[in-house]
């Protein structure tokens, strides 16, 4: 089967490397056709991306060596994301990668916190996470493999400058025999049945294929342009529609976390890496006259249509408020491989792919809406309006159940765990009216002791970690010694 | 904040569901809560020989039960799976074993390699790659070992036990932890005027029992959930036409099988559940296709050993209560709905209901969002099990009776049609993350029922063929040898019985010393 990928950005190269690695030659061949122009395959959100810990699974699958990647691309490690200016309850809060606290028996940590708060104690989630504590100290080391160590309770992601990262993926794809076409794409060619038959190039030649991947960014040249998949807009809940990205060099050692700050008409994110920072300003054009590339939040109605699967921003334009761009790409590629069709016309597979992709994206949409809905920026028209908006039912149910009992109903497609939702709710000052009855069965002093002991073990362990700068320097030294 | 915690729980109905709820609430519920369980000696319980699935072990472990003691007290035997006879076509049999088939390679499912090589005559039957299935057919059993490197760690098991003895066992447990048993029949249910919540139940002889939370374990009729609160019932008889069962216990004949057997008959199916002291038999049938007398005769004729007692008739309609939790009443067991025990899920649904209730435990304000979430999760789970059961009926080649022809030709729920379609295409199985039945279970039944994928996953070609061929050739004999070294099921039970008896002697001697 001849596979043709459109788009020479991160999404296209990742797809090329992944597919060429998994599908045996010579029965499958993979070609990549460029669109020309800047890489907007993950949306107009450069120039660096913060990747969730799941990126490491992608790299293992791709056979991409992490140390080598960090050295070549000047990437940094990440322990989570700091948020400021969003919540009235907490002027700044941190969403860490890894556990917050630890359960006592079967009772989750946030329920234990609820019991203590009901008794008048002050409990701050951030004090009970190794990732948060280490990030505050500017320290980093890879977690321990020993499950009995507190240093095994956190995880890490990466801050990746997109240009060098795309090159690393490209090298990998080319090494796996992906054929790159030099002349850019001009138009799609449809076959008799209305499916894609080939891509016409600027040279008037064509690249024919049986199965296509649309990695052409928000314009979705194949899925939308040629096949009219349809677009479902999320603008009613996510009104930001401008993105301005810029990068700058800095001698300051990178912090092991990104920072997302809310402003009058949107937010600004800083992603630090070795030798530089990427800055992104996302705003709403109706609320402020900010510069930037226009975009519209939403997703394709049918990411897999006929013999074409859209990935990256061609499938959905999702502002990177939760650092999900690369995670979504990884999930899409893994799903495509799980459902990889034996023949180009595969309606059962396409239906299943679309159902699960759309569920996942809709649940992510809910997660993105939440900080807007719960914002504490009173007196600013853009934010006041968002606070009163009606949210989709599944999110309304999540909020109601959390407020009632501190539980979060997880639905099919939820990418975030219950504890990650609880951390976000808590940061916005949402407090359950009652904590879990099971927390009541525990003596309160036992809970207090449990929390105090977690705190002291974590502080002690985090203080012994090297600084992020030293850790990066040491890895480089190790590399060059080897 | 005023104290609005639940002060008292009233469980209406004993039986397996009632005593499971009582035991769990007494062990795990909030402290200082009064628990009453109302049951009448006059009302017999439905519980016969009951087959379970592996999660029952978690329930027992959470209660802190000693498994050997539990096996002795409930006359239990071990179960490695279910054998389906004559379901696909007459003379055909397959096993739905617990535990996995083979081992995945390079992130591609084992069965995809199996599909590829089986088509070329280079692989044994699928069941030969599952230790539970192989051991079951050899009548062998042992518990799994912990060491993940040993093939014996892939064993997984559940039990067959006497449901009445299990209820009695849990009753002792619950009463020792403060649950009060009230003897009597509920004659009236008193609702509060303002909000229609249940205020109290009245027993014969003018006894009135108040409560904050009521758990309805009163069986099919749903004394509280349906008769008092009119929650409504959604029937699924268009997919599951069996509406009666006739149950007959019989004397044990021969060695107890370490698995449940389900044999498809002309108008339904017959179960056979081996216990230590007898065998449970019964015919689940569609009354539109066979008369009660004929069904009873068939069941008698097919019983394993001499019948012990008269055949007992049970009427039901497959379906579920529209609200499993309505106001301050939560329905468990048959009060919540009925699915035939084809995949041994009855006790599991009780267990799952209890754990959801504990996780969403209300206070006296009964925030409606809690019931909404409970019902959402409960509906999802029971629909998934329903689909799995319907699959057995739908995917049949049988056309020897009107019953089977109707099953074969029926329309199935979209959710199931999608699953079947995906499997038929490329052998792919997609399940929801929290779905009860694993991929291995779906695989066993889809293939067992004769749904053969048109193609295997193209990714299976990316692994070296020689290597896969070698693995397939070595694995089946290796599993077979491991199974042959296991003790027979009856030896294992006898050994357990001896050590349990030994332990008892020691204890009593200790008590008298």
User: Does residue B507 surpass a pLDDT of 70?
Assistant: no
For chain B, percent of residues with pLDDT exceeding 90: 81
The C-alpha R_g of chain B, in whole angstroms, comes to 24
B405 interfacial to chain A (CB closer than 8 Å): no
CB–CB contacts below 8 A, A to B? 88
Q: Which of A168, A70, A48 is nearest to A476 (CA)?
A: A70
- B143 within domain boundaries: yes
Q: Please check whether residues B265 and B230 belong to one and the same domain.
A: no
Nearest CA in chain A to B454: A342
CB atoms within 10 A of CB B16: 25
Q: What pLDDT is stored for residue B72 in this prediction? A: 95
Q: Do B350 and B495 lie in a common domain?
A: no
List of chain B residues whose C-beta atoms are within 8 Å of the C-beta of residue A356: 430
Contact indicator for B155, B57 with CB cutoff of 8 Å: no
Shortest CA gap B27–chain A (Å): 10
Residues 6+ apart with CB under 8 A from A193: none
For residues B316, B320, B326, B331, the Cα torsion angle rounded to the nearest 10 degrees is: 60
Q: Domain range spanning residue B304?
A: 244-315
Is B153 buried (19+), middle (13-18) or exposed (0-12) by CB count in 10 A?
middle
Mean pLDDT of B49-60: 92
Yes or no, beta carbons of B373 and A438 under 8 Å apart: no
Residues B266 and B311 in one domain: yes
* Nearest-by-Cβ selection for A440 from B31, B424, B457: B31
**DSSP bridge partners of B315:** B244
Determine contact, residues B383/B415, Cβ cutoff 8 Å.
yes
SS3 A82: strand
Marked catalytic residue, from B79, B109, B116, B323: B79
Task: Count the neighbouring beta carbons within 10 Å of the beta carbon of residue B43.
Answer: 13
Answer yes or no: do B309 and B328 share one domain. no
Residue B426 lies in a domain: yes
- Say yes or no: B451 and B509 in one domain: yes
pLDDT at residue B71 in the model? 97
Among A340, A351, A401, the residue with its CB nearest the CB of B373 is: A401
Alpha helices in A391-432 (DSSP H): 393-405, 418-427
Q: B188 and B323 in one domain?
A: yes
Torsion of CA A126, A131, A132, A136, to 10 degrees: 160
pLDDT tens per residue, range B145-192: 999 899 999 999 999 999 999 999 999 999 999 999 999 999 999 999
Both B366 and B455 in one domain: the answer is no
- Alpha-carbon gap, residue B347 to B273, rounded angstroms: 15
Q: How far is A278 from A218, CA to CA, in rounded Å?
A: 21
B342, B290: one domain: no
Provide the pLDDT for residue A481. 65
Structure tokens at A128: 């009970």
Alpha-helical segments (H) within A144-262? 162-175
Q: Which among B259, B275, B261 is positioned nearest to B98, based on CA atoms?
A: B259
Q: Please give the residue of chain B at the shortest CA–CA distance from A355.
A: B418
Per-residue pLDDT tens digits for B175-186:
999 999 999 999
**Cα–Cα–Cα angle for A34, A39, A44, nearest 5°?**
140
In a domain, B405, yes or no: no
- Of the candidates A372, A407, A377, A404, which has an alpha carbon nearest to the alpha carbon of residue A390? A372
pLDDT in tens, chain A (482 residues): 999 999 999 999 999 999 999 998 888 999 999 999 899 999 999 899 999 999 999 999 999 999 999 999 999 999 999 999 999 989 999 999 999 999 998 788 999 999 999 899 999 998 999 999 999 999 999 999 999 999 999 999 999 999 999 999 999 999 999 999 999 999 999 998 899 999 999 999 999 999 999 999 999 999 999 999 999 999 999 999 999 999 999 999 999 999 999 999 999 999 999 999 999 999 999 998 778 999 999 999 999 999 999 999 999 999 999 999 999 999 999 999 999 988 887 888 999 999 999 999 999 999 999 999 999 999 999 999 999 999 999 999 999 999 998 999 998 899 999 999 999 999 999 999 888 777 887 899 999 999 999 999 999 999 999 999 999 998 877 766 65
Alpha carbons A338 and B257: distance in angstroms, whole number? 38
The CATH number of whichever domain residue B308 belongs to comes to 3.30.70
Does the residue B112 lie in any domain? Answer: yes
Give the domain ranges of chain A.
2-97+155-391, 98-154+392-482
Phi, psi dihedral angles at B343 (to 5 degrees)? -115, 25
Relative orientation angle of helices B346-359 and B15-28, to the nearest 10 degrees: 30
pLDDT at B48: 59
Tell whether B447 is covered by a domain.
Answer: yes
Q: What is the separation of C-alpha B49 from the centre of its chain, rounded to a whole number of angstroms? A: 12
The Cα B353–Cα A251 span in angstroms is 59
- Strand-pairing partners, residue B283, are B246, B270
Widest CA span of chain B, in angstroms?
A: 79
Question: Which residues are registered as beta bridge partners of B307?
Answer: B250
Cβ–Cβ under 8 Å, residues A30 and A179:
yes
> CA A10, CA B269: separation in Å to the nearest integer?
56
CB contact under 8 A, B373 and A397: yes
Distances in whole angstroms, Cα of residue B302 to Cα of each of B272, B279, B305 = 10, 12, 9
Which among B299, B315, B331 is the end of a domain? Answer: B315
First-to-last CA distance in chain B? 54
The residues, ordered by sequence, that sit 6+ positions from B470 with a Cβ below 8 Å of its Cβ are none
**Number of alpha carbons in the 13 Å side-chain half-sphere of residue B458:** 19
Q: Side-chain half-sphere of B74: how many Cα atoms within 13 Å?
A: 32
Whether B356 is catalytic is no
Question: CB count, 10 Å around CB of A122?
Answer: 7
- CATH class in words for A2-97+155-391: alpha beta
Is residue B404 domain-resident? no
Q: What is the pLDDT of residue B45?
A: 55
**A276-283 and A242-249: which strand pairing?**
antiparallel
Query: How distant, in Å, are the alpha carbons of B68, B74, B258 from that of B65?
Result: 9, 12, 22
In sequence order, what are the beta bridge partners of A189? A198
The verdict on B342 and B374 lying in the same domain is yes
When computed from its CA atoms, the radius of gyration of chain A, rounded to whole angstroms, is 23
- Terminal C-alpha separation, chain A: 41
CA–CA separation, B56 vs A221, rounded Å?
53
Measured distance CA(B325)–CA(B197) in Å, rounded = 12
Give B197-238 as a DSSP string. Answer: -EEEEEETTTEEEE-SEEEE---TT-IIIIIIT---EEE-TT
Same-domain status, B286 and B372:
no
pLDDT of residue B290: 97
Residue B227 burial (CB < 10 Å; 0-12/13-18/19+)?
middle
pLDDT-derived band of residue B80, with 50, 70 and 90 as boundaries?
very high
CB within 8 Å of A445: residues ≥ 6 apart = none
The neighbour count for residue A479, using CB atoms within 10 Å, is: 12
Q: How many domains does chain B have?
A: 3
Question: Do both B232 and B358 map to the same domain?
Answer: yes
pLDDT, residue B513, reads 28
The answer to whether residue B126 sits within a structural domain is: yes
Domain boundary, last residue among B315, B340, B367: B315
* B188 in the same domain as B48: yes
Is residue B309 within 8 angstroms of chain A, CB to CB? Answer: no
Angle, nearest 10°, between helix axes A109-118 and A444-463?
Answer: 120
Q: Kindly report, residue by residue over B450-495, the tens digit of the pLDDT.
A: 999 999 988 888 888 999 999 999 999 999 999 999 999 999 999 9
Q: Which residues from A are below 8 Å from B when comparing CB atoms?
A: 22-24, 27-28, 61, 118, 337-342, 346, 348-349, 351-352, 356, 397, 400-401, 404-405, 407, 409, 412, 433-434, 436-438, 440-441
The answer to whether the complex's ipTM is over 0.95 is no
């Amino acid at each position: 089967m001849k596979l043709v990928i459109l788009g020479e950005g991160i999404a296209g190269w990742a797809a090329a490397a992944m597919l060429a690695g998994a599908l045996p030659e010579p029965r499958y061949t993979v070609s990549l056709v460029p669109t020309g122009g800047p890489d907007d395959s993950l949306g107009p959100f450069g120039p660096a991306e913060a990747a969730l810990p799941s990126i490491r699974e992608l790299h293992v699958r791709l056979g991409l060596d992490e140390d080598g990647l960090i050295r070549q691309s000047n990437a940094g490690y990440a322990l989570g994301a700091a948020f400021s200016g969003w919540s009235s309850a907490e002027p700044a809060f941190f969403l860490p990668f890894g556990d917050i606290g630890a359960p006592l028996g079967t009772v989750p940590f946030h329920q234990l916190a609820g019991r203590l708060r009901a008794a008048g104690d002050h409990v701050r989630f951030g004090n009970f996470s190794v990732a948060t504590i280490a990030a505050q100290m500017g320290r980093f080391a890879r977690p321990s493999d020993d499950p009995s160590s507190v240093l095994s309770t956190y995880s890490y992601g990466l801050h990746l400058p997109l240009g060098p990262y795309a090159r690393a993926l490209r090298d990998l794809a080319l090494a796996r025999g992906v054929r790159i076409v030099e002349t850019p794409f001009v138009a799609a060619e449809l076959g008799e049945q209305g499916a894609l038959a080939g891509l016409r190039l600027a040279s008037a030649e064509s690249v024919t294929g049986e199965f296509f991947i649309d990695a052409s960014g928000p314009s979705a040249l194949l899925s939308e342009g040629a096949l009219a998949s349809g677009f479902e807009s999320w603008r009613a809940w996510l009104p930001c529609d401008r993105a301005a990205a810029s990068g700058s060099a800095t001698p300051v050692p990178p912090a092991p976390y990104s920072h997302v700050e809310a402003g009058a008409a949107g937010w600004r994110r800083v992603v630090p890496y070795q030798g530089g920072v990427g800055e992104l300003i996302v705003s709403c054009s109706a609320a402020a006259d900010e510069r930037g590339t226009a975009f519209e939040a939403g997703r394709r109605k049918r990411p897999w249509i006929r013999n074409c699967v859209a990935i990256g921003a061609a499938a959905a334009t999702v502002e990177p408020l939760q650092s999900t761009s690369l995670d979504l790409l990884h999930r899409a590629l893994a799903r495509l491989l799980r459902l990889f069709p034996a023949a180009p016309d595969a309606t059962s597979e396409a239906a299943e792919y679309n159902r699960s992709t759309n569920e996942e994206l809709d649940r992510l949409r809910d997660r993105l809406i939440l900080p807007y809905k719960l914002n504490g920026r009173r007196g600013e028209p853009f934010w006041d309006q968002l606070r009163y908006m009606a949210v989709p039912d599944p999110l309304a149910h999540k909020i109601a159940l959390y407020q009632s009992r501190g539980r979060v109903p997880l639905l099919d497609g939820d990418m975030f765990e219950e504890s990650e939702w609880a951390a976000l709710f808590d940061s916005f000052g949402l407090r359950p009216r009652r904590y879990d009855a099971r927390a009541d069965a525990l003596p309160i002093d036992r809970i207090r002791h449990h929390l105090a002991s977690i705190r002291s073990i974590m502080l002690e362990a985090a203080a012994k970690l090297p600084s992020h700068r030293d850790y990066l320097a040491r890895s480089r030294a190790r590399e060059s010694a080897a | 904040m005023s104290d609005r915690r639940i002060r008292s729980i009233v469980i209406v109905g004993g039986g397996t569901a009632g005593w499971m709820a009582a035991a769990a609430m007494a062990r795990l519920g909030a402290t200082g809560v009064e628990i009453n369980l109302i049951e009448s000696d006059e009302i017999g319980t439905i519980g016969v020989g009951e087959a379970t699935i592996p999660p029952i072990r978690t329930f027992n472990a959470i209660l802190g039960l000693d498994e050997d003691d539990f096996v002795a007290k409930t006359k239990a035997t071990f179960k490695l799976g279910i054998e389906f006879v004559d379901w696909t076509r007459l003379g055909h049999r397959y096993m739905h074993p617990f535990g996995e088939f083979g081992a995945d390679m390079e992130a591609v499912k084992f069965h995809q390699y199996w599909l590829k090589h089986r088509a070329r005559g280079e692989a044994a039957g699928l069941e030969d790659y599952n230790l539970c299935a192989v051991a079951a057919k050899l009548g062998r059993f042992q518990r799994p070992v912990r060491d993940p490197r040993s093939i014996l760690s892939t064993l997984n098991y559940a039990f067959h036990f006497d449901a009445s003895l299990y209820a009695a066992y849990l009753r002792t447990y619950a009463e020792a932890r403060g649950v009060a048993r009230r003897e009597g029949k509920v004659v009236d249910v008193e609702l509060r005027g303002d909000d229609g919540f249940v205020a109290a139940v009245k027993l014969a002889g003018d006894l009135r029992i108040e409560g904050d939370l009521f758990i309805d374990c009163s069986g099919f009729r749903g004394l509280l959930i349906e008769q008092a609160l009119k929650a409504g019932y959604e029937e699924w008889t268009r997919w599951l036409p069996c509406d009666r069962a006739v149950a007959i216990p019989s004397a044990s004949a021969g060695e107890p099988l370490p698995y449940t057997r389900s044999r498809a008959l002309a108008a339904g199916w017959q179960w056979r559940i081996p216990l230590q002291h007898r065998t449970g038999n019964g015919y689940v049938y569609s009354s539109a296709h066979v008369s009660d007398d004929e069904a009873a005769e068939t069941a008698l004729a097919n019983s394993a050993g001499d019948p012990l007692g008269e055949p007992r008739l049970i009427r039901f309609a497959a379906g579920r209560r529209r609200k499993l939790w309505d106001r301050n009443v939560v329905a468990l067991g048959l009060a919540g709905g009925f699915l035939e025990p084809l995949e041994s899920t009855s006790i599991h649904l009780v267990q799952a209901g209890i754990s959801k209730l504990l996780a969403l435990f209300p206070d006296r304000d009964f925030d409606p969002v809690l019931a909404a979430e409970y019902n959402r999760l409960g509906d999802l789970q029971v629909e998934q099990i329903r689909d799995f059961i319907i699959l057995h009926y739908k995917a049949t080649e049988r056309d020897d009776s009107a019953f089977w022809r109707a099953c074969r030709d029926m329309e199935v729920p979209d959710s199931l049609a999608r699953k079947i379609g995906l499997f038929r295409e490329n052998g792919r199985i997609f399940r929801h993350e929290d779905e009860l039945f694993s991929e291995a279970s779906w695989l066993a039944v889809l293939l067992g029922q004769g749904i053969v994928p048109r193609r295997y996953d193209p990714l299976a070609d990316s692994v070296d063929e020689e290597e896969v061929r070698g693995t397939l050739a070595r694995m089946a004999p290796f599993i077979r040898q491991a199974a042959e070294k296991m003790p027979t099921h009856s030896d294992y039970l006898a050994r357990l019985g001896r050590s349990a008896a030994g332990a008892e002697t020691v204890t009593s001697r200790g008590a008298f010393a």
